[in-house]
Structures are given as structure tokens and as C-alpha cells.
Amino acid sequence: MQFESIKLLDETNSHRPGFYVRFKNVIVGFITLLATLTIFIKISQQHNSNTIIMELPVINTFETIKLDEYPNVNRLLFIGDVHGEYDTMTSLFEEMNYDSDTDMVILVGDFLTKGPDSLKVLDFLVDSIHKGNRNVRYVLGNNDIKVLVALINQDMENYSKESEFNPLNFNTEFNYVPKDPLKKIKQSHLKLANELGFKKLYELAKHSTVAFKIQRSNNDASHALFAVHAGLLPGNFINTTLNANDNELFIPSIDTLTEMKFVEQDNWSNTYKQLGMKDKKKKSNDIDATKKSLIKWYKLWDETKVEQTFNDNKKIQKNFDYDLLEFSEIINNITVVYGHDASSGLNIHNHTKGLDSGCTKGGQLSGLEFVWDPTNNKYIDTLYQVDCIKK
């Protein structure tokens, strides 16, 4: 309609050849002035607030690793929460006889913060990326995410509202900011983010994921391993129906994957990091947790609870059309390897393997080796630990 009006105006004034040209020049000049004014306002706002606008790429939430694409890999080495303890990590590698050519390493999150050498840990990961070494993998933990959020919120010390935070974007969840960021994202996270540098953290985010599924091959229905920082509920990242594709996975929230320790037995949509806040005046989703029927999430993977798990998934998932036997076979062929829960320490069960053994508090750094046993069609796992020095 706009172009028709301009054309009509030109025809109406055809006896004045310069009219349309002059009119067009006025419009173009006005638009240019408006654009220049907008840019000036943005620059002025940034100058006045000393804010540097930084953007990180959209972060992948979930990735499947098919081991038939890695014919040289013989072992899978899962490493617990490193927390910047680079020397301890390399000691654990030595204990495990790590071979970069034939071993795949997966860090289960919180590899940054707290310890003295976050930069060395980051360099190890980024150097592997630059060398094209796909045998080094990692999932993001809640502390790693805090560093990334701090990086893109350089002026956060002046924030008074949660809505002022620039968010991270995940491919399954846009505009993500951790709960209670004014309290939980600290100046120490910002200081570390700036020490690590935008370029390296950009590369980290670009090649990140929040959860891995590791399977033998595309058509292999045998045992699958999942790597995640905080935890995974039975049914997460499983196709909503038997005939579904990977676009129809049941996807949990970023909070569930990076913060969860407890879950409501009657409503798996509600997960919590802690049972309750010490200061009841501070509002948080965790306050109500003391009033709920909560259990540690990993207890839902108990083989005796498969029928309950099946019924709960039917309530939660749309188009859920498994029968109990089909669902049981899937659940019984999954092992979840995670970190995050240092208060529980090393926590090894049939289907869940918790590796946060409190390294930064003088505990151990734990690693779990998985080797495929073709005779028995299952993984054999072996635990390795090295002592950490309390700083």
C-alpha cells in the first residue's frame, strides 16, 4: 500500500519532474537522521553506564554421541567437579593412564570457579577445541553458567532487579537467568569471567552442551550413558513415543539439569536445589520445598520404582504411548553420571553415579572409567580417585 501511494503521488505530480526526487530525498534523509539518533542514544547510554554489550552464542542443551563415529575410542572417562583444580585433574589423568588418542574424557560440569587454576582448565578445553580433538567433552554446571552470565552483565553491581540481567539463550530455553541472580551471581564470578576473557569463554559456550547421551551406535538399543551436571529424571531425553524422532524428546529445564538435588514425588515438574532457605524472609522457589514431599532425584531410578516412574511419566508427557514393559527396558538400560552434590559425596548406584567428592574442600577428585564388555553386552566401570589439598 505504501508503494502504491508513492506511485500515485508521482503520477499526480508528473508535470513537476523534480517533485518525486525531492520527496524521496526528504524521506531518506529523515530515516538516516532517525537511525543516527538511535545509534547516538545507544552509544550515550553505554558511555554513561560504562556498560560493554557482549553476546554469547545460543548454547546447545543436548547432544548424542554415537561411539561408532569414534572407532579409536576404547574408554570413556567421566571426571567429577574439577572447580579450577587443574593440577589435581592432571594427577587424576595420570592415575587413570589417560591416553588422548584412545580415551574420551567427559567433565561433568563445574570445572570453573573456586580453585586456583580455572584458566588452565579452560585452556585445556579450548585448546582441545582448536585442535579438533572431539575426544574431550564437557557439560556446563551451575557455576560455569554463573561465570557466563556474569560475563555478559558487566554492570551487574548496579542492578536492583532480576529483569535487568542479560540472559543466556539455550536452544531449548531462551532468556535463561539462574534463580535469584542478584544473590547468587557475585562479583567474584565477574572478576573470574574477565580474567578468563571473552574470546575463550565465547569458544567454551559455542561448543558447550548441558547434557550428553552416549550410545554405541545409531541403531544400538543397548545400554546408554548420560552425562549431566546436577541430575536427570527417568524419562528425560527419551522420545515421547516409540515412533518419535529426536525433535520430540522430553526436554527438562536448564534448572533441572544444572541445579536439581530434590524433586517432588507427586509433581516432577518441580525440582529444588535445597530443602529450604535459612532466611525465610528471602523469597525463593526453594522456600516452599520444606512443605512438599521431596526425595533425592536419584532415588527415582530405583528398579523397584519403575511402575511408579512409568505412571508419573504418563501424567507429565504428552503423547506418551509406551507400555510398562517397553518403558522398563529403556530405563533399565540407562546410567546417569553426574556431579554437583558434594554434600552427598561419592554416590554410586546401579543407574546413577555421583562423582562430586568435595575436591575444593580437601576431599577427592573422582573419575569413573567405562569400558564396553561385548561378551556380556554391558559396560564395566572402574572408580579412580586422587586426594585434593584443602586451600
Contacts 24+ apart (CB under 8 A), 164-170: 168/56, 168/59, 168/205, 169/56, 169/58, 169/59, 170/58, 170/59, 170/60, 170/61, 170/210, 170/254
Instruction: For residue 37, give the C-alpha cell.
Output: 539518533
Q: Where, residue-wise, is CATH 3.60.21.10 in the chain?
A: 62-387
Q: How far is CA 242 from its chain centroid?
A: 26
- At 275 the pLDDT is 64
Sequence letter at residue 373? D
Tell me which DSSP letter residue 171 carries.
T
State the residue for C-alpha cell 567437579.
Answer: 81
Buried residues in 339-355 as b, exposed as e (16+ CB within 10 A): bbbbeeebbeeebbbbb
- At 256 the pLDDT is 94
**pLDDT tens digits along 95-135:** 999 999 999 999 999 999 999 999 999 999 999 999 988 99
**pLDDT tens digits along 9-46:** 334 444 444 544 454 455 545 544 554 444 344 434 44
Say which CATH superfamily domain 62-387 falls into. Answer: Metallo-dependent phosphatases (3.60.21.10)
**Angle at CA of residue 366, ends 365 and 367, nearest 5°:** 130
pLDDT > 60? residue 87: yes
Contact between residue 145 and residue 178 where contact means Cβ atoms under 8 Å apart? yes
Instruction: Name beta bridge partners: 63.
Output: 212
- Using CA atoms, how far residue 22 sits from 10, 25, 124, in Å, is 11, 5, 62
Going by C-beta distance under 8 Å and a sequence separation of 6 or more, which residues neighbour residue 116? Answer: 84, 85, 86, 391
State the residue for C-alpha cell 531410578.
Answer: 301
Confidence of residue 314 (pLDDT cuts 50, 70, 90): confident
Going by C-beta distance under 8 Å and a sequence separation of 6 or more, which residues neighbour residue 14? Answer: none
Sequence letter at residue 363? G
- At 45 the pLDDT is 45
Q: What are phi and psi of 7, to 5 degrees?
A: -65, -45
**pLDDT tens digits along 234-274:** 888 887 666 555 666 788 999 999 999 998 877 777 888 87
Measured between alpha carbons, how far is 340 from 352 in angstroms, rounded to an integer? 13
pTM, full prediction: 0.82
Instruction: Name beta bridge partners: 264.
Output: 294
Closest CA to 300 of 292, 309, 313, 310: 309
Phi-psi region of 362 (alpha: psi -120 to 50; beta: other; left: phi over 0): left
Measured between alpha carbons, how far is 129 from 133 in angstroms, rounded to an integer? 6
- Using CA atoms, how far residue 258 sits from 48, 56, 279, 292, in Å, is 35, 19, 23, 21
**pLDDT tens digits along 334-368:** 999 999 999 999 999 999 999 999 999 999 999 99
pLDDT > 70? residue 200: yes
Measured between alpha carbons, how far is 369 from 309 in angstroms, rounded to an integer? 28
**Angle at CA of residue 94, ends 92 and 99, nearest 5°:** 110
